[in-house]
Structure 1
Amino acid sequence: MLRRALGDWRPTWLDLLLSLAVVITGLVESFGRQGSQPGQISDPVPLAVGAVVAGTLLLLRRRFPTALLLALISIGLAVRAVAGDGYYAAWHFYSTLILVHTVASAAELRSRRGLAGLACVLVAYAGLQTFQRNDLAEFMISAVFMGVAYGSGILLRRQIDRTLRLAERAIRLEVEREERARQAVAEERARIARELHDIVSHNVSVMTLHTGGVRMRLGEEHRRERDMLLGVEKAGREAVEELQLMLGVLRRTGDPDPGASQPGLERLDELVAQVREAGLDVRLRITGEPRALPPGLALSVYRVIQEALTNVLKHSPAASADVVIAHGPTGLDVEITDDGTGGGRRSDGRRPGGHGLIGMRERAALHGGELSAGPVPGGGYRVVARFPLGTPAATG
C-alpha cells in the first residue's frame, strides 16, 4: 500500500541531507544535554527516538507535506508526554520550519490544497505554543520564523512555476521555429520544382520536335526506324502533357506564366541594373573561362545571386556589393559580399523570421553544391555558393 502511495517518487539528495541533519542534531542534543539540572534532559531516549522519527518523516516531505506536518506536531506532544520534564527539543522546531516551507511550496494558496496547507500551518504554530511557557518575545520570534518559512515556500513555488512556464514557452517557440523552417524548405523545394518543370517540359518538347523531324526525313525503306521514332515522339508528347498537369498542381496563384522562359546567367546584367536602381552599387565580375551551363544549374545560380542581393537591400544598410562568378575546371563558385553591418540579420545571416538562406542552400544542394554565409572580419557580410559541374546530388 505504501509503494502504491509513493508511486515513482524518490527522495532527493536535499531530502536526505535535511533528514540526516535533523537526526544527528537531535541525537547530539538529546545525549549532549543529559543531566538533572534545570534546562537539561533527564531521560534522553524519548527525545532521541523522536529525532530519528522526525528525520525519517522529512524523507517524505515533498510527497505528503501537510500530513507530515500534523504528524510532527503529534510526535512532539508524544515525546513531551513520555519525557515529562518540559524540555522542548530544538530539532522539533527545525523540522517544523522545514515542513512549513514545504507545505507553502507544494500548492497555490488559492487552491483547496493550498488553503488546507495554510490551516495546518496555523495549527502547527498554535501547537508550538503549548510545548513550553513562552513570553511575548518568544511568541513573536516563533511567529517571525514561521512566517519566513511559509513566505519562502511561496516564493520558491512561484519561481518554479515561472521557470516551468518559460521552459514550456521556449520549447513551444523552438517547435514553431522548426515547423516554420520545415514549411520554408517545403515551399522552396516546391518553387524549385515548378521552375525545373518549366525547363524539363521545354527540353522534352524540343526533343519530341527533333524526333518528329528526323522521322519525316526518313524514307519508306526505313519503316522500322520510322516506327521506333514515332513511338519516341508519342512518348515525348505524353511526357509533356503529364509534366504540364504536374506543373498545374504545383503552381500557385501569382506564379509566373508557365510559358515564360526561366532566367539564367545571361540576364545577370539586367538583375544588376535593377538592384542599382534600388540604390545599391553592385559590381559584377566574372573570372575564368565561361562555359555553357545546364538550364537548371544556370537558374539556381541566378536565384542565389538574386536572393543574396535582395537580402542586402532589405536587411543590411550596405552601400555597395560585389558579385564574383568564378568558372573553374570542376565547378562554379559564386561570391556575394556587401559592406553593410548586417542590419537586422542574426548570426546565421537571416533576419528574424526570414528564410532566405534556406532557399539558397536548397538550390545549392540540388546540384550537389554547398552554401556558406557569415560576417566578414572588419565589417560586411559574405555569401559563398559552390556548384560542382558533375552529377547532381539527390536531396533529402
Structure 2
Amino acid sequence: MDLLLALAVAVAGQVESFGRQGLEPGQVRNPVPLAAGALAAGALLLVRRRFPAGALLMLVVAGIGVRAVTDGLYYPAWHFYSTLILVHTVASAAELRSRRGAAGLACVLLAYLFLETLQFVDLAEVLISAIFIGVAYVSGILLRRQIDQTMRLARQTARLEAEREEQARRAVADERTRIARELHDIVSHNVSLMTLQAGGVRTMLGKEAQRERDLLLGVERAGREAVEELRLMLGMLRDPGGTGVQPSPAGLDHLDTLVAQVKDTGVAVGVAVEGRPQPLPPGLNLSAYRVVQEALTNALKHARASRIDVTVTHAPGVLILEVLDDGTGDGGGQGGGHGLIGMRERVALYGGELTAGPAPSGRGYRVQARLPLG
C-alpha cells in the first residue's frame, strides 16, 4: 500500500508539473522544482509508518522550499494529497494522550498553518482545509482504535485457543488414565487366571513329564512376575483418589441398568439389539459400554433431547453402536466435557471409527461407533 501511494503521488506530481506547464495564470512556469518536490513527497510516503511525524515535517519543509523557488505562484495538488495521507498516518500511529501522540498533533497543526499561509486564502478555503485535515486526523484515530481492538481480540482468541487445546490434552490424558485403570483390572485378572491354569496343568502331569512340568513352572513364574509388575506400575491407577470405592459393573450386558438410570431423568430411551450377540473381549466390551454411556450423558447435558434411541448391531466382524437423539442442541459434548475426545480415544484403542454430527433427518444428533472384532 505504501509503495502504491508513493508511486501515485510521484507520478501524479510529474503529470501535474509538466502537463500544466505554461505562462498563463494557473499554469506552472517552472515545472522542475514541483516535479522534484513530488518525487520527495513520494519518498516520504514510503517511510510514513516508521517516521509519521518526521515525514509530515519534511513535507512541510518541501512545500516551503518549492514555494520559495517558484515564488508561490502555484500550489501543487500533490502536496495537499500527501499532507492528508501523512496527517492520517500521524493520527493512527499513537494515542493522543501519549507524548508521541501530542507531538504528532503539533505537527498536524503546523502543517495546517502552512496551508493557511498560501496566497489567495479566504474564509471558505480556511474552512475547506480544516474539514479535510480534520477528517484525515479523525479517520486515523478511528483506524488506530479499530486496529487495537482487532489485536486485542486476536490475542484473546489465541489465548482461548491455547486454553481449549490444553483442556483437550488434559481430557485425553484423563481418558487414557481411566482406560488404563480399567484395563489394569482386566489384564491382571486374565494373567492371574492363566497362571493358575498353568499351575493346575503342572500338578496333573506325572513325574515322567518332568520337562513339561519345568516349562509350565516357568510359565507360572513369568505370570506371577507379570502380575506383580502390573500391580506396581499400574496399581496406582486403580483408585487414584484413595477412596476405595469400586466402579459399578460396566459392559454391554449391563446396558439395561444404564438405560434405567437415564429414564429416571424423564427422558424416553429405547434400546434395540440387532444381529446375533457374540462374546466380546472384556476390554472391547468395556469400551463399547463407555461409548454408549458418554453418548447418553452428552445427549442429556447438551442436546436437550426428549427421546434417545440406542442401537447395538452385532454384524460379522464388527460391532456397531449408535445413539440417536431428537434434541435441538449439540449432542457431541463440546460444552467443556470433551465427550467426543474420550469416545474417540476408546474407539481408536481398538482400531475403530467414530462419527458424530447432526442426524440424517436434520433433527437431533447422532453418534455412531464401529469397533472391529478379531
* TM-score, normalised by the number of residues in structure 1: 0.87
CA deviation string 1:277-327 (max 9, x = no partner): 232222222121211111111111111111111222222232222222111
Q: Which of 80, 88, 104 is matched with 1:117 structurally?
A: 104
Q: Which of 335, 358, 369 is 1:352 aligned to?
A: 335
What does residue 149 of structure 2 align with? 162
Q: Say whether the 8 Å CA contact 2:72–2:119 is kept in structure 1.
A: no
Aligned partners of 2:184 and 2:235 also within 8 Å: no
- 1:228 correspondence with 2:215: yes
Residues of 1 paired with 2:152 and 2:367: CA distance? Answer: 38
User: In structure 2, how many angstroms separate the alpha carbons of the residues matched to 1:147 and 1:261?
Assistant: 74
How many Å apart are 1:28 and its aligned residue?
Answer: 3.1
1:155, CA displacement in angstroms? 0.9
What is residue 7 of structure 1 aligned with on the other side? none
Report the CA distance shift for 1:262/1:224 in structure 2 as closer, same or farther (over 3 A): farther
* Aligned counterpart, 1:97: 84
Q: Does 1:202 align with 2:189?
A: yes
Paired residue for 1:386, among 339, 349, 370?
370
| Partners of 1:195 and 1:262 within 8 A in 2 | no
1:44 Cα deviation after fit: 2.3
Count matched residues: 372
The CA RMSD over aligned residues, in Å, is 2.1
Deviation of 1:217 (Å)? 2.2
Give the match's secondary structure for 2:26.
Answer: coil
1:326 aligned partner, one-letter code: T
Q: TM-score, normalised by structure 2?
A: 0.92
Distance 1:39 1:286, change over 3 A: closer
1:369 equivalenced with 2:356 (yes/no):
no
Offset, 1:39: 3.5
| Residue 50, structure 1, aligned to residue 42, structure 2 | no
Per the alignment, residue 272 of structure 1 pairs with: 259
| Counterpart selection for 2:94 from 96, 104, 107 | 107
Greater alpha carbon shift after TM alignment, 69-78 vs 139-148 = 139-148
> Quick one: percent identity of the two aligned structures?
67
Shift of 1:257: 4.7
What are the within-5 Å matches in structure 2 for residues 1-396 of structure 1? 14-251=1-238, 252-253=240-241, 257=245, 262-341=249-328, 343=329, 345=330, 349-376=332-359, 377-390=361-374
Cα distance in 2 for residues equivalent to 1:196 and 1:233:
21
Corresponding residue for residue 10 of structure 1: none
Shift of 1:47: 1.6
Amino acid in structure 2 at the alignment position of 1:368:
G
CA distance in 2, matches of 1:369, 1:317: 28
Q: Residues of 2 paired with 1:271 and 1:235: CA distance?
A: 38
Q: Would the aligned equivalents of 1:336 and 1:382 in 2 still touch at CA under 8 Å?
A: yes
How big is each residue's C-alpha offset from its partner over 1:221-258, in whole Å with a ceiling of 9 and x where there is no partner? 33332232222212212211221222233342167756
Structure 1 residue 204: deviation in Å? 0.8
Contact 1:50 1:76 in 2 (8 A): yes
Of 72-81 and 32-41, more deviation after overlay is shown by 32-41
The residue identity in structure 2 corresponding to 1:383 is V
Task: Specify every segment of 5 or more residues in structure 2 that has no aligned partner in the other structure, as ranges.
Answer: none
How far apart are the structure 1 equivalents of 2:72 and 2:340?
Answer: 80
d(CA) in 2 for partners of 1:127 and 1:243? 86
Q: Distance in 2 between matches of 1:331 and 1:308?
A: 19
User: What residue number does 1:6 align with?
Assistant: none
**Distance 1:375-1:255 versus aligned 2 partners, 3 A rule:** farther
Which ranges of structure 1 fall in alignment gaps of 5 or more residues? 1-13, 391-396
Letter in 2 for 1:333: I
Match of 1:3 in 2: none
